[in-house]
Amino acid sequence: MYKIAVAGTGYVGLVAGVCFAEKGQNVICVDIDENKIKKMKSGIAPIYEENLEELMKKNYKAGRIDYTTDYKRAYKDADFIFIGVGTPEREDGSANLDYVYGVANQIAETVEKNCIIVVKSTVPIGTNDKIEKYIKDNLKHNVQVDVASNPEFLAQGTAVRDTLHAARIVIGTENKYVEEQMLKLYENFNLPIVSTNRRSAEMVKYASNDFLALKISYMNDIANLCEVVGANIEDVAKGMSYDKRIGDKFLNAGCGYGGSCFPKDTKALHFLAEQGGYELKTVKAAIEINKNQKLVLLKKARKIFEKFNNLNIAILGLTFKPGTDDLREAPSLDNIDILLKEGAKIKAYDPVGVENYKKKYPTEIEYTSTPQQALQDADMCFIFTEWDEIQNVRPEEYGNLMKTPYIFDGRNIYTLEEMKELNYYSIGR
């Protein structure tokens, strides 16, 4: 059993810590927020993730995981210290590494035994090298530290499953000893492991996320062209999916991607390339397509309604995808901001995202407990997230509840046939 300290208790850090505890390791998670620590000790997760709270309670009761604000106690005698803090984007698109370096500084001041520092946060290529040098240059005790790259590949909403049953584990090391220790750490996960150098491991993370973002943006671009030429994007996607070289994942057209990864990581890699004097034209195009795609429903609505002032508008789905309460880069944000500025009256439904949305719009929006309440007397409806609760709304309910049944579906959750009696607008069909 190893002693593992994890810095950060968000999607990356907390999920990693809980999953290591589930695999029998001794884990302590570190966060600066005392109130957050108290909640986690009682089994309350700060993020909405399937099965996370269940595993938190199970492993805390078993004594395999704990939570603290005392980083000195956590780091001083750890075998592994995982850095899982956020790397938000700056205004220029670059990754903000302040939190990563903040943890690195704490580690340098407190470690009292030889240990391996594992960077799990998504960081620009070359960051692991700089972190190792920074820590070694600032060590307060005579110990040996090495840095390994171990990027995460979890998806929000399925983070626990994605960690325990990952398609692969990627580790990046610069010497045989660290590689062997990382392989031992992950031994009982029984998953494929890709072992490479640190810079390649860092690039695997960005290249993977950006490829998926490219795939989504490509399908959205094709969907928009389908509308021009009279094709159906769903039929096109089905025809493409039988080609094993393409596969059947990430072929669904919609109103753009969001979340904590794709928007940030595409911009960060594009920025990194520019800094090196190279232009990633494909990634640049994906960024631009997604920016425009988020407003595609609003553009459709403008062709029908001259103005939104005093119109009753139902919003179904606030989070960027089902299964999470994360609002980062959610298409709903861009659209609601414009609608409110133009005088619309909004009623919104989301099964888990309302509390987070209230932090931005505490009184400007009427939040409902069911989709049907949001639809009552609405002039139009925008669907931004394909939650089951929203997909379960029957087509006839729109006609019965709405004042004028204009439905703008950003996730193509209905067939054209079942909505043919309504004023129904979707993506690429």
d(CA 155, CA 120): 14
Set 19, 29, 226, 261: catalytic member: 261
d(CA 128, CA 119): 7
**Torsions phi, psi for 91 (to 5 deg):** -60, -30
Residue 50 tokens read as: 């399937």
Query: Which residue type sits at 312?
Result: N
Q: Please classify residue 280 by burial: count the beta carbons closer than 10 Å to its beta carbon, then call 0-12 exposed, 13-18 middle and 19+ buried.
A: middle
Under a CB-based contact definition with an 8 Å cutoff, are residues 171 and 179 in contact? yes
DSSP 189: G
For helices 262-275 and 198-229, give the axis angle rounded to 10 degrees: 110
| Start-to-end CA span in the chain (Å) | 55
For helices 11-22 and 52-61, give the axis angle rounded to 10 degrees: 50
267 SS3 class: helix
**Torsions phi, psi for 81 (to 5 deg):** -120, 115
Query: Which residue type sits at 316?
Result: L
**Stated length of the chain:** 429
Lookup result for tokens 């753009």: 256
Q: Between the CA of residue 360 and those of 336, 349, 355, what are the distances in Å? A: 11, 15, 9
Residue 105 tokens read as: 């500084």
Residue 329, by phi and psi: left (phi above 0), alpha (psi -120 to 50) or beta? left
Q: Is the dihedral of CA 74, 75, 80, 85 positive or negative?
A: positive
Catalytic site residue 381?
no
Q: How many Å separate Cα 246 from the centre of its chain?
A: 23
Cα-Cα-Cα-Cα dihedral of 229, 234, 236, 240, to 10°?
160
Cα-Cα-Cα-Cα dihedral of 263, 266, 268, 271, to 10°?
-130
- Tell me how many degrees the CA angle 281-283-285 measures, rounded to the nearest 5: 70
> Which residues are the active-site residues?
261
